[in-house]
Amino acid sequence: MARKISIKQAVNEALDQEMARDPAVICMGEDIVGGTGAGGEADAWGGVLGVTKGLYAKYGDRLMDTPLSESAYIGAAIGAAACGMRPVAELMFIDFMGVCFDQIYNQAAKFRYMFGGKAETPVVIRAMVGAGFRAAAQHSQMLTPLFTHIPGLKVVCPSTPYDTKGLLIQSIRDNDPVIFCEHKALYGIEGEVPEASYTIPLSEANIVREGKHCSIVTYGLMVHRSLEAAATLAKEGIEVDIVDLRSLSPLDLDTVLDSVTKTGRLVCVDEASPRCNIATDISAQVAMQAFSALKAQIEMVTPPHTPVPFSPTLEDLYIPSAAQIAAAVRKTIKGGQA
Amino acid sequence: MARKISIKQAVNEALDQEMARDPAVICMGEDIVGGTGAGGEADAWGGVLGVTKGLYAKYGDRLMDTPLSESAYIGAAIGAAACGMRPVAELMFIDFMGVCFDQIYNQAAKFRYMFGGKAETPVVIRAMVGAGFRAAAQHSQMLTPLFTHIPGLKVVCPSTPYDTKGLLIQSIRDNDPVIFCEHKALYGIEGEVPEASYTIPLSEANIVREGKHCSIVTYGLMVHRSLEAAATLAKEGIEVDIVDLRSLSPLDLDTVLDSVTKTGRLVCVDEASPRCNIATDISAQVAMQAFSALKAQIEMVTPPHTPVPFSPTLEDLYIPSAAQIAAAVRKTIKGGQA
Amino acid sequence: MTNPFPLSKDDLLKCYRTMRTIREFEERLHVDFSRGDIPGFVHLYAGEEAAATGIMKHLNSGDRIASTHRGHGHCISKGVDVVAMMKEIYGKKGGTGNGKGGSMHIADLSMGMMGANGILGAGAPLVCGAALAAKFRNKGEVAISFVGDGASNQGTFLESLNLAAVWNLPALFVVENNGYAESTARDYATAVDSYVDRAAGFGMPGITVDGTDFFAVYEAAGEIIQRAREGGGPSLLECKMVRFYGHFEGDAQTYRATGELDDIRANHDCLKKFGVQVTAAGVISAAELQAIDQQVLAVIEDAVQQAKAAPLPTLADLTTDVYISY
Amino acid sequence: MTNPFPLSKDDLLKCYRTMRTIREFEERLHVDFSRGDIPGFVHLYAGEEAAATGIMKHLNSGDRIASTHRGHGHCISKGVDVVAMMKEIYGKKGGTGNGKGGSMHIADLSMGMMGANGILGAGAPLVCGAALAAKFRNKGEVAISFVGDGASNQGTFLESLNLAAVWNLPALFVVENNGYAESTARDYATAVDSYVDRAAGFGMPGITVDGTDFFAVYEAAGEIIQRAREGGGPSLLECKMVRFYGHFEGDAQTYRATGELDDIRANHDCLKKFGVQVTAAGVISAAELQAIDQQVLAVIEDAVQQAKAAPLPTLADLTTDVYISY
Ligand SMILES: Cc1ncc(C[n+]2csc(CCOP(=O)(O)OP(=O)(O)O)c2C)c(N)n1
Ligand SMILES: Cc1ncc(C[n+]2csc(CCOP(=O)(O)OP(=O)(O)O)c2C)c(N)n1
Ligand SMILES: [Mg+2]
Ligand SMILES: [Mg+2]
């Protein structure tokens, strides 16, 4: 287990292993091969950031470049899934969901229910989420709450290479539609990942740090910011539990409730916009189901209710920081003492 | 103030008065006139449920039927708004947002911020929301949280004819994009409405019933279910405050916090799907900002995490009932005593 | 007398039975809806039977279709069980979706019927996917997207035309042009006169036929389906047709010109036309058709009775079938 | 010597200056980006200048355009201030969006520039709206949607063609066909060879021109813009053109054929072509062009210096400009 690879490589390896294992797995997206129809290198891009690079050489036409028509090709992935394939469609940036959302929430998500349980739609939609790339308002959103809100969709957002590989393989094998969110600012981070194939259930949160004074519940990039905050707080004698949700839907609420029951305090950290987001979702569930365990107010750390700004100065202020998270922990700890 | 009209008439009257007042107000949508290009009656429909009926006779080409191309015509409304008009576009059912969402959340909602404050987009998008029509999974959703999540959008959902007229006129005059949600099951309810034009600010919740034992925070159809529940509870000696949010974004959180501070208990009722919805949003804000006022766990009453079922039997079980709301109130009251 | 038609007498009788079943299914819904027996929105296919039937006659259960909000005709001609359909429309257990979907969401994947759809144009991308799956399976299967003239202006539909052509999919696009989208005239809402031109804008062949003429539909569909099976790629077929009833049940249809409905029923009834064609040719007798009419009436009556008698779903059904249980 | 061109010498010099300004703006960004001075995604318009300039020459500030992710050329030729643009790209106060938008969101509504756009095809519906507003204003204004060959397959764009034709809007659609969408070839991703056919599929006239020939663009655009001003409705103009750089800065462009880039620079440089045309006709001297080149270099250098010196936005700016304050 000594080998270290990046999240980018973990995505590639998961796709590689599943494509090798199951001929029903096919991939489609804009430039996921790259150079199709052009006069130069085949497999020229492997996706806009090179995540799928090399797979075309192995699997040929099972990876397909698409026209710029997200409704058509995401819908095609969904339709193919309803007809026995296991497509993995790449929506380059999650921000583009607005041109193809219907296929996702009115079609894929609802088939099973509307058809009385007689449909399976094993499709995975991979998309880059999150800020930090100076990519501005239309290429930096999280939007995870929009998918989490929809019954019938599963929503996954890993924070480590290990989780990425295991969750992506599980998502591909899952028979429900899964929105697989890859944080673009995390592609480069490395971690130990077994070479062999393995899965992680979509229903288990992960406690990435243990502590008794306060629970931090979060996911994605914010797991790392929370770990930073935890290190700072530890120096002050404050020990936090950090719950990495990994899967936003289905939600492993039990792990959250157990943690809060232990610590009595909760800070929810979410990179998504503040209204109706994952932080409010978790906070509300805790205020309903573990109220008596709470020793103080719940705190939420989120960006402001604004689009993501372009200017690096502003974007850095926009994304929740370790300092803001630490401050929120201190605040709820103080709140309970008041 | 004795005249009673329905919500449907209130919408029509608001549009009528604003079109009369301001030539920049134009309306567009599928069949909002009806019969365009056909050989029979002009103004044949006035919208699928007749809400805009009669306006064409008065304002002619300022009402436009559209092809079935929501992206194009909702986008056109937004573009026209950025060029000095005040369009009111009808998205027949909010469920259709999936084919035009990009224009709403990446365009209209973000112009002002991305352009450094130098744009105004005074567009109103009217849409029918909610269940109860036996219209099944793709014509019965609330989806209010999806819009509320987006910075830059305002989201309104009235529960009475009086509020409908005042809020719609205000929405048309507002210089930000407004999603105006009309609950189809409420079109027929009647109430007193002044004939003269008037506005209601988009930032004020309304206390529709006062009581000291528990706060119910809700909007839309659920206001009426909550009032029913309140009547039942009153017979048991339980008096509830009912806060009708009216505007989901911007949110009048102060009124909510004041109510909870008074009662010490909160039940949030939302017809939208349970994850990341308005109920979790309000609950979380209260658990953060008025925690010390809370005497018991917060309760949320929502539909289950499923698509809206077609069968009347199931749909009636799906929509939160007065009985469920009353039970939640009793539960939080009991919770505080335990 | 020799049979001048491209189908055997047996097949002709089958097709007539299918068309008549659709017609009586819809006529019965019309009556039962006005009586208040049927909940929700109901869009009737009456008058358009020849299109669905003429096309579906070329398909096997491995071939797939995606339908519209006006889906009963597609379902019946694709072989979906009429009793299960009726139960679904009544919101009962035993319906195609156990009452969870209703008229706008009837589906039967085992018969290659991927669903009626409440979202206009949404079937077209799905059909690209079904055709892609067919391409990978490599057994010569095809997939067909039905779309109304109104929905032919949806971006999802237009994108799908391009994608199907780019991927050279065995996908067919049938525009059911009944002249109206709800109350709005096609000629107002669609910028081009001929769908042949629209198809050409996406690099695919297009054909226009009289959709009330079963044999015209059958022939044109046969040609493009065969081409798709052989790897020749997608095509678009426009069927010009008429809608006997309003957009949905309850529509007063004041947007129609005076006399329009009478003319439709009198001169553009695809069932009448079919009857005249096959009896005039002496291949089938009027009595044989009438016998089928009687049988079909009984079938529909039975379906309604079964639907009425079927149990309602219960609270336990509310939360099942969202996700797959593992 | 008489002037054989449809523009006065003065106007020709202005157009050359515009094209050269775009070119140098982009060349400079290319250098500064590779140096790490510029954050985010930057898509350069270098090589495509003749299209924006030849079209925009026909417009007034009451006419509106909606641009793409590759928007600098459209902005400059529509009259957006180069210094404010450069500040925006550097993320500084005083930028067109005070640093909040960046390269992909430069806009200046006062100049009729409705915004670059990070969402492909999204400008087309907006332009329908701008054209609708123009129709209500009734002053003969037009609105133009720019779209790449890749984005011409987006449903939003396709729907807009139909809507513009149905409403007979003074809207123009310019397809900037540079042969690629990112790394994917146009000929793979677009099912039809000619955009004239696609336009015909939506009932509107289409024209294809050599987008690297300023005069060809100028003439074709003039015709369709004039028609739209007079109430003749929408048209589509395809400009065949070349992209000097990669899709975005950082693109290694290995998908290009060997020699492709050399050929582009050598034989398809719209600025060189323009220079040859106007000097050969004896209307403008090489020295006059060189003088402009020098002036433009100074303008760009100044813009960069101003951008570098401009203040950064601060925390106080983070939460302003979302909603309008009342
Ligand atoms: C995306 C979307 N927009 C609007 C509607 C509402 N709607 C349902 S049917 C219909 C008219 C459809 O016309 P057409 O496509 O010609 O089919 P027809 O009803 O004539 O068979 C409309 C506007 C919808 N269901 N989905
Ligand atoms: C809806 C959407 N899908 C995908 C993208 C990602 N993307 C940005 S530019 C681009 C290629 C655009 O090609 P084209 O339209 O030909 O314009 P060009 O870059 O050649 O000028 C893609 C795929 C996007 N920005 N928006
Ligand atoms: Mg129609
Ligand atoms: Mg291009």
CATH code, domain carrying A295: 3.40.50.920
Report the candidate in A215, A219, A206, A299 with the shortest Cα–Cα distance to residue A260: A215
Euclidean distance between CA atoms C298 and C290, whole angstroms: 13
The pair of structure tokens assigned to D315 is: 């925390």
A288/B contact by beta carbon, under 8 A:
yes
Best mutation site among A146, A219, A288, A333 for testing chain B: the one with the most B CBs within 10 Å? A288
Cα dihedral B209/B212/B217/B218 (nearest 10): -30
Contact A83 C130 (CB under 8 A): yes
With an 8 Å Cβ cutoff, are A335 and B138 in contact?
Answer: no
Q: What is the pLDDT of residue A1?
A: 58
Q: How far is the CA of D185 from the centre of ligand 4 (A)?
A: 8
How far is the C-alpha of D7 from the C-alpha of A326, rounded, in Å? 65
Q: What is the structure's pLDDT at D326?
A: 79
Strand A206-209 to A240-244 pairing:
antiparallel
Residue D151 CA to ligand 2 centre (angstroms): 6
DSSP-derived letter for residue B107 is I
What would the mean pLDDT of C249-257 be, rounded to a whole number?
Answer: 95
For residues B14 and B105, state if they share a domain: yes
Would you state the pLDDT for residue C326? 79
The answer to whether residues A296 and A216 belong to one domain is yes
Average pLDDT, chain B: 97
Give the model's confidence band at B1: pLDDT under 50 very low, under 70 low, under 90 confident, else very high. low
Widest CA span of chain D, in angstroms?
62
Instruction: Establish if A298 belongs to a structural domain.
Output: yes
Domain boundary among A130, A162, A194: A194
Structure tokens at A163: 């989780």
Q: What's the CATH code of the domain at C208?
A: 3.40.50.970
Structure tokens at B53: 């009926």
Structure tokens at B116: 């450094």
What is the pLDDT, as a whole number, of residue A2? Answer: 77
Segment 77-116 of chain D within 8 Å of chain B by CB:
95-101, 105, 107-110, 114-115
Q: What is the mean pLDDT of residues C278-301?
A: 98
Q: Check pocket membership of D72 for ligand 2, CB cut-off 6 A.
A: no
- Residues of chain B numbered 206-245 and touching chain A (CB < 8 Å): none
- Based on the fold, state whether residues A168 and A54 are members of the same structural domain: yes
A308 DSSP 8-state letter: P
Query: Does D208 lie at the interface with C, CB-CB under 8 angstroms?
Result: no
CB of D23 shorter than 6 A to ligand 2: no
Partner residue facing C163 (CB), from A73, A81, A113: A73
The whole-chain average pLDDT of chain D stands at 97
CA dist., res. A166 & res. A203, Å (int): 12
The finding on whether D119 has its CB within 6 A of some atom of ligand 2 is yes
CB within 8 Å of D35: residues ≥ 6 apart: none
Distance CA D140, CA A91 (A): 40
pLDDT in tens, B173-216: 999 999 999 999 999 999 999 999 999 999 999 999 999 999 99
Task: Tell whether A62 is covered by a domain.
Answer: yes
For residue D61, is it within any domain? yes
- The number of domains in chain B is 2
Query: In the predicted model, what is the mean pLDDT of residues D44-64?
Result: 97
Asked if B6 and B12 count as a contact pair (C-beta separation under 8 A), the reply is: no
- Catalytic residue at A139? yes
The answer to whether residue B201 is domain-embedded is: no
User: ipTM score of the complex?
Assistant: 0.98
Residues A216, A143 share a domain: no
Residue A231 belongs to what domain range?
A: 206-335
Q: How far apart are CA A126 and CA A187, in angstroms?
A: 13
User: Is the separation of the CB atoms in D105 and D114 below 8 Å?
Assistant: no
Residue D240 above 60 pLDDT? Answer: yes
Ligand 3 centre from C70 Cα, in Å?
10
The predicted model gives D144-152 an average pLDDT of 98
CA atoms within 13 A on the CB side of C205: 13
How large is the average pLDDT for residues B2-11?
Answer: 96
Tens of pLDDT, residue by residue over B41-61, are 989 999 999 999 999 999 999
- Clarify whether residues A188 and A213 are in a common domain: no
Domain boundary among B194, B226, B248: B194
Hey, of C263, C318, C321, which one would you mutate to test binding to chain B, going by the most B CBs within 10 A of its CB?
A: C318
Using the 3D structure, point to which of A194, A215, A249 is the last residue of a domain: A194
- Residue C146 Cα, ligand 3 centroid: separation in angstroms? 11
In order along its 338 residues, chain A shows pLDDT tens digits of 579 999 999 999 999 999 999 999 999 999 999 999 999 998 999 999 999 999 999 999 999 999 999 999 999 999 999 999 999 999 999 999 999 999 999 999 999 999 999 999 999 999 999 999 999 999 999 999 999 999 999 999 999 999 999 999 999 999 999 999 999 999 999 999 999 999 999 999 999 999 999 999 999 999 999 999 999 999 999 999 999 999 999 999 999 999 999 999 999 999 999 999 999 999 999 999 999 999 999 999 999 999 999 999 999 999 999 999 999 999 999 987 65
Is the domain of A162 the same as that of A251?
Answer: no
B246-265 pLDDT, tens digit each: 999 999 999 999 999 999 99
Residues 153-192 on B with a CB inside 8 Å of A are none
Query: Which residue among A31, A137, A310 places its CB closest to the CB of D184?
Result: A31
Check whether D80 has a pLDDT greater than 80. yes
Structural domain containing residue D285: 9-317
Sheet order of strands, A206-209 included: A206-209, A240-244, A214-218, A266-269, A299-301
Q: Are residues B239 and B141 located together in one domain of the fold? A: no
Q: Within a domain: residue D168?
A: yes
Q: pLDDT tens digits, residue range D260-315?
A: 999 999 999 999 999 999 999 999 999 999 999 999 999 999 999 999 999 999 99
Supply the DSSP string of D104-150, one letter for each residue: GG--BGGGTB----SSTTTHHHHHHHHHHHHHHHTS---EEEEEETT
D121 and A68 in contact by Cβ < 8 A? yes
Residues of D in contact with A318 (CB under 8 A): 318
Same domain as A304, residue A253: yes
Can you spell out the DSSP letters for D68-117?
A: -SS-HHHHHHTT--HHHHHHHHTT-TTSTTTTSS-GGG--BGGGTB----
Please judge whether A113 and C100 are an interchain contact, meaning their C-beta atoms are less than 8 angstroms apart.
Answer: yes
* Ligand 1 center from residue C119 Cα (angstroms): 7
Same domain, B72 and B12: yes
CATH of the domain at B101: 3.40.50.970
Residue C1 has pLDDT above 90, yes or no: no
Are the Cβ atoms of D166 and C201 closer than 8 angstroms?
no
**Residues A179, A214 within the same domain:** no
Beta strands in chain C (DSSP E): 64-66, 143-148, 171-177, 180-181, 184-185, 206-210, 235-240
If asked whether residues B42 and B177 sit together in one domain, one would say yes
**Residue C17 CB contacts under 8 Å (≥ 6 apart), including other chains:** C292, C295, C296
For residues A41 and D255, the answer to whether their CB atoms sit within 8 Å is: yes
CB-CB contact of D107 with B120 (8 Å): no
D274 lies in some domain: yes
Q: Are A44 and D254 in contact (CB under 8 A)?
A: yes
In chain A, beta strands by DSSP E: 4-6, 25-29, 63-65, 86-93, 124-129, 154-156, 178-183, 190-192, 206-209, 214-218, 240-244, 247-249, 266-269, 299-301
The set of chains that have 3 or more CB pairs under 8 A with D is A, B, C
Closest atom of ligand 2 relative to the D248 alpha carbon: 19
State whether A7 and A40 are in the same domain.
yes
Distances (CA, A) of C59 to A258, C14, C115, C225: 56, 14, 16, 9
pLDDT exceeds cutoff 60 at B338 = no
Residue with tokens 């006529």: C27
Q: Smallest CA–CA separation between B1 and chain C, in Å?
A: 34
Number of domains making up chain C: 1
